[in-house]
Chains A and B, each alone.
Chain A
């Protein structure tokens, strides 16, 4: 049955919902709590940082139905076409708790209980995707959930116990419904652009890249929303209008990852979770960054294209992509153009994106085998924090002499920016501690960082210099940073 235009359809727990009256700014959380009185999902912060609103969203990736934890507080209702939303109310069956819930009870994993439904949903997401999680996996799955009462220890114990609890006759709503839901979501996948109008409001869900280009050409002032991990806050915190809005999170053509001899092409709509997994396979230096952008929910929602397109000076992916020589492809109705990523960032809040253009993909060329590459993120809290600074380093060393160097930082200037003077101070010099010490001074000509609540200017400058030293020491095999868990390869 063709999808009727003019409405958004998705499955909520066990019922199909079709909405022809959706404001662009209505969040999934408000819909659940205010319209459906599903009050198990809580609002803790309304900015995607505390996880009290965690729900699972199932979507088709190819033919596969994938469930991911997301923050309902910053997920727009209009972006849910052809998804399955699972809330905490869906877990227990006839009063019998799901093993994840039962473990939380048995291990005293709740105190005040307000964060608990969100934890349960994050743990449920982990339970579904990982039968034998390590402590590192558990911590990673919980990076987007704040608990102020328990100190987390009993929750981690509950997660371990729940992983063991998989009786064959267990009631699991997702396991039971997987086939039926897959079929429903296939039927709901849009084949043409959905446009929902409501008075002045206009919400557009393009079916593919062509229709996105057309929609953006027709509405050059539209807000393009992929993961809504940034735009969500414009609405919940600043109460900014985003009308008209184009939701691109359902466009599968933007979610492709292609590996070739030349490198990696990542569609702008690929989530951090998937993009960073691919990047770290190809560029092991990305590894330590994988789980340090946002929490699990934000990584499941946010996209690499969004991280670039919003032009933030503290976006975490641009510095490493810049040193790797990534290019960005922009597309509009008139065609495509490709430019080096570092040229895309013009000034604070200003990118080289023309009206009607959208970021389509990023291409990252392969790294020559002998090149050294690392990226280091520094933040007040190790996980789920915005960077104070983030440095990426790439060096080729030949016979002990630096042949080429590319270094870029976030958090040190108004845009992600190369440290060209430091690079110059390294090139042609022996790769030695003396060279590093001499080059450290050049950071002062490359950057004049700001002082804010994340760090002082002095700390940023000193740490940038020291990260070059860390890079040097690690290139010689020394232990020069803390790791919470031994690296698993």
Chain B
């Protein structure tokens, strides 16, 4: 290395705020990125399969597994009684979630035993030989059924209250009540759940798990085995998608693999078939929202009273915080002068619902946007007009306090919406669509602009902490590790950019390494969009520590002061001297400088008191908005998304290409949730949409025909986040609420927009057609 290298190259490759390819992209496309099932198996690896029940709610009166055990190739059959220490993997610590059903089946498909065999095929076949007899108990799978049968809850409900909603509703000039059903959603990560447990010495075990939450896998495995956490190491290099579905749902597979591995002293792998994965693991919560709204003649909201009832499934899992977050987002982007919001986390005989991108927030916001839409139809106005009237005001405007008493300090929604309204040519297009609908008999169009304001932070304050571990080796190469997991969202590359930027070295000098509980302990789930905020800052802190030592070393060696030492592209500049980074590191090693640091970060400012419903649960908000235009066929209910324009706020983007990928992908995933993705249970309580043949996520041909996505480049986070960036994982998921509302407008056209179609989600072609029929018949004298 000589000085000319530096002078020619002005900047490093891979600094922050510049688009970088996903670190594994070249491996993804050539099939060399290893997922857990691709790793070479240790000699003698055995394979597990779940033995599933076929009752929604029943007592197991007898379970004869002799034929299962007798099948050639079967090595071990596990039941609840075989869990060495505990059969409990409840993430909420309410002890309501067994690894294997023990005496009582609580949902159709709940695993009651597991088979370990020489091959996966044998294990799967053996499960079918079980003879289980049941005594059926009454089951209810649906929200209304659950309410009708006593409304048992899986966890404590939440109330958010400000002002006096009940009294103000009475006084309001106008008032409307309604209800809306919002369906659940299967994650459909392309890589299903998988765990590979490799037994170690003494009580040790290593588990490779496709998980967003290695620390929880570690805790659950240690709890089930009855060993301390330090005996269990959990690793994950990458997941083939997570979306919240791998926050807690990997526990049962990891626990079973670990139990079998320790008992047999052989490696054990669990990889459920897709249908088993979809049957035995939780999904997004579906909701029934009842709302009662008072407003004035202009459309300004005066009071909102709403109840959010959720199908939680048989156990609590994460339903508490999920239903909480639904309430936190029931205001969407709007100020409710008086408000009372309640959650109702209902127990049902279905698989326990869990985290899913947005974590209840999307359902909360869909309810809030429905209220706006209802008011608009009541008043015969464009819903966008009602939205603007009700947006939160600027800080100190008196219209800046949320239902949970947090002041909104960083509000930019009006600016986002105004800019998008202009760039997407919303008003002109709306007029053209109204004109089109007057002329078109069968095909009708709709357009809608909806906003997003999403609170960033775990509402469980303790989870807002993270660690990182950074080593620099003697050759100047850097080893990076942190507690965040990579599921495709680009977290690893973003944090690597933070490190490259901190040391001012090219990105290829930074080695990204697999997440492991052995390097960074006590991590939080990579969830709540928090990955780069938390881990980026923790890694930055580790780099800061090493840099401080390096600066001190330079001052001593070169006899100078810290203001004369700086990290410049691929060099350290000391006075006028440029020392290539590797050379400088080598000297630091020789000077006995510690070249490794554990970084740490905790989010400032936030606090939350659930009992009183007051606090500042969110560090900041991420904003965005979308305009969607759709066409529907009023004879069949079929539809098409013609055009989507998005303007989204990621603060100062750490990696624009990755962030745009999150927005585009989140949009299409959210659109699937609100359109074609339908979960359907039969009268036996059996989920019948448990494979891609029956559960329909969007295809390439479902994506918007025209899809314009822009970042709000002028935005910077008001808070001191890493590079003033903002979280991006979840907020874009709510942009396609505009698709649902555009479909609604197209439906409303058949009754001249006099009536809000009250389209439930998902708006399948069937729901669209039935809404068309309903509106036509309502206008018709019977």
Name A's B-contacting residues (CB within 8 A): 33, 37-47, 49-50, 52, 87-89, 91-92, 97, 101-102, 104-106, 108-117, 120, 138-140, 142-143, 145-156, 236-237, 239, 376, 378, 380-386, 388, 452-456, 458-459, 462-463, 466-467, 469-470, 473, 478-482, 484
Distance to closest chain B CB from A190 (angstroms):
28
B689 A153 Cβ-Cβ under 8 A:
no
Distance to closest chain A CB from B135 (angstroms):
28
B700 A155 Cβ-Cβ under 8 A:
yes
Per a CB cutoff under 8 Å, which of B125, B632, B678, B701 touches A380? Answer: B678
Per a CB cutoff under 8 Å, which of A41, A42, A148, A473 touches B243? Answer: A148
B29 A152 Cβ-Cβ under 8 A:
no
A44 B191 Cβ-Cβ under 8 A:
yes
Per a CB cutoff under 8 Å, which of A89, A151, A466 touches B636? Answer: A466
Per a CB cutoff under 8 Å, which of A97, A104, A114, A481 touches B638? Answer: A481
Give the CA-CA distance A145 to B698 in the complex, in Å.
10
Task: Scan B6-25; emit 1 where CB is below 8 A from any A CB, else 0.
Answer: 00000000000000011011
Residue on A nearest B271 in the bound complex, by CB: A43
Name B's A-contacting residues (CB within 8 A): 21-22, 24-35, 37-38, 40, 124-125, 128, 187-192, 238-243, 273-275, 440-443, 487-490, 631-633, 635-640, 657-658, 660-661, 664-669, 676, 678, 680, 688-689, 691-694, 696-703, 705, 707, 709, 764-766, 769-770, 773
A49 B191 Cβ-Cβ under 8 A:
no
Give the CA-CA distance A41 to B30 in the complex, in Å.
10
B128 A452 Cβ-Cβ under 8 A:
no
Give the CA-CA distance A473 to B680 in the complex, in Å.
34
B664 A150 Cβ-Cβ under 8 A:
yes
A112 B703 Cβ-Cβ under 8 A:
no
Per a CB cutoff under 8 Å, which of B189, B274, B440, B661 touches A150? Answer: B661
Residue on A nearest B21 in the bound complex, by CB: A105
Give the CA-CA distance A117 to B631 in the complex, in Å.
34
Give the CA-CA distance A472 to B32 in the complex, in Å.
54
A97 B29 Cβ-Cβ under 8 A:
yes
B190 A147 Cβ-Cβ under 8 A:
yes
A40 proximity list for chain B (CB < 8 A): 30-32
Please judge, given known A-B contacts A112-B241, A481-B442, whether A459 and B766 are in contact too, CB under 8 Å. yes
Distance to closest chain B CB from A386 (angstroms):
7
Residue on B nearest A237 in the bound complex, by CB: B275
Per a CB cutoff under 8 Å, which of B37, B240, B443, B639 touches A479? Answer: B443
Please judge, given known A-B contacts A112-B488, A142-B700, A470-B635, whether A151 and B664 are in contact too, CB under 8 Å. yes
A111 B661 Cβ-Cβ under 8 A:
yes
B441 A482 Cβ-Cβ under 8 A:
no
Per a CB cutoff under 8 Å, which of B22, B241, B770 touches A148? Answer: B241
B191 A112 Cβ-Cβ under 8 A:
yes
Give the CA-CA distance A154 to B693 in the complex, in Å.
25
A153 B31 Cβ-Cβ under 8 A:
no
11 CB-based A-B contacts, threshold 8 Å:
A39-B38, A110-B24, A110-B29, A117-B31, A151-B707, A154-B664, A381-B698, A382-B701, A386-B693, A386-B694, A473-B442
B668 proximity list for chain A (CB < 8 A): 150-153
Distance to closest chain A CB from B320 (angstroms):
27
Distance to closest chain A CB from B312 (angstroms):
22
B35 A463 Cβ-Cβ under 8 A:
no
B694 proximity list for chain A (CB < 8 A): 386, 453-454
B635 proximity list for chain A (CB < 8 A): 463, 466-467, 469-470, 480-481
Per a CB cutoff under 8 Å, which of A97, A108, A376, A381 touches B676? Answer: A381
A482 B638 Cβ-Cβ under 8 A:
yes
B669 A45 Cβ-Cβ under 8 A:
no
Give the CA-CA distance A300 to B664 in the complex, in Å.
30
Distance to closest chain B CB from A449 (angstroms):
12
B238 A113 Cβ-Cβ under 8 A:
yes
B37 A39 Cβ-Cβ under 8 A:
yes
Give the CA-CA distance A117 to B700 in the complex, in Å.
16
Residue on B nearest A474 in the bound complex, by CB: B442
B680 A453 Cβ-Cβ under 8 A:
yes
* Most chain A CB inside 10 Å of its own CB: which residue of B188, B238, B664, B709: B664
A112 B31 Cβ-Cβ under 8 A:
no
Give the CA-CA distance A151 to B664 in the complex, in Å.
6
* Most chain A CB inside 10 Å of its own CB: which residue of B32, B238, B700: B700
B665 A149 Cβ-Cβ under 8 A:
yes
Per a CB cutoff under 8 Å, which of B124, B188, B689 touches A146? Answer: B188
Per a CB cutoff under 8 Å, which of B191, B489, B661 touches A108? Answer: B661
* Most chain B CB inside 10 Å of its own CB: which residue of A41, A149, A459: A149
B442 A41 Cβ-Cβ under 8 A:
no
B692 A45 Cβ-Cβ under 8 A:
yes
Distance to closest chain B CB from A392 (angstroms):
15
Per a CB cutoff under 8 Å, which of B32, B274, B488 touches A149? Answer: B488
B691 proximity list for chain A (CB < 8 A): 45, 47, 49, 237
B31 A478 Cβ-Cβ under 8 A:
no
Distance to closest chain A CB from B680 (angstroms):
4
B24 A113 Cβ-Cβ under 8 A:
yes
A378 B32 Cβ-Cβ under 8 A:
no
Residue on B nearest A122 in the bound complex, by CB: B700
Residue on B nearest A138 in the bound complex, by CB: B700
Residue on B nearest A100 in the bound complex, by CB: B29
Per a CB cutoff under 8 Å, which of A45, A146, A380 touches B764? Answer: A380
Per a CB cutoff under 8 Å, which of A49, A89, A111, A142 touches B665? Answer: A111
B636 proximity list for chain A (CB < 8 A): 376, 378, 463, 466-467, 470, 481
Please judge, given known A-B contacts A47-B693, A380-B678, whether A104 and B700 are in contact too, CB under 8 Å. no
Distance to closest chain B CB from A462 (angstroms):
7
Distance to closest chain B CB from A227 (angstroms):
16
Per a CB cutoff under 8 Å, which of A112, A383, A462, A469 touches B699? Answer: A383
B707 proximity list for chain A (CB < 8 A): 151, 153
Give the CA-CA distance A447 to B689 in the complex, in Å.
25
B26 A152 Cβ-Cβ under 8 A:
no
B274 A45 Cβ-Cβ under 8 A:
yes
A149 proximity list for chain B (CB < 8 A): 241, 488-489, 661, 665
Give the CA-CA distance A473 to B635 in the complex, in Å.
11
* Most chain B CB inside 10 Å of its own CB: which residue of A102, A146, A376: A146
A112 proximity list for chain B (CB < 8 A): 189-191, 238-242, 487-488
Give the CA-CA distance A143 to B696 in the complex, in Å.
12
B22 A110 Cβ-Cβ under 8 A:
yes
Distance to closest chain A CB from B409 (angstroms):
32
Give the CA-CA distance A63 to B318 in the complex, in Å.
60
Q: A114-B241, A456-B766, A467-B636 are in contact. List 15 more A-B contacts (CB 8 A).
A: A38-B31, A42-B191, A87-B31, A108-B660, A110-B24, A111-B661, A112-B242, A120-B29, A149-B488, A151-B698, A155-B700, A381-B676, A470-B635, A473-B442, A482-B639
B190 A148 Cβ-Cβ under 8 A:
yes
A480 proximity list for chain B (CB < 8 A): 441-443, 633, 635
Give the CA-CA distance A37 to B243 in the complex, in Å.
29
B667 proximity list for chain A (CB < 8 A): 151
A139 B692 Cβ-Cβ under 8 A:
no
Residue on A nearest B187 in the bound complex, by CB: A148
Give the CA-CA distance A325 to B696 in the complex, in Å.
33
A108 B273 Cβ-Cβ under 8 A:
no
* Most chain A CB inside 10 Å of its own CB: which residue of B25, B275, B441, B702: B25
Distance to closest chain B CB from A42 (angstroms):
7
B689 proximity list for chain A (CB < 8 A): 453
Residue on B nearest A120 in the bound complex, by CB: B29
Distance to closest chain A CB from B438 (angstroms):
15
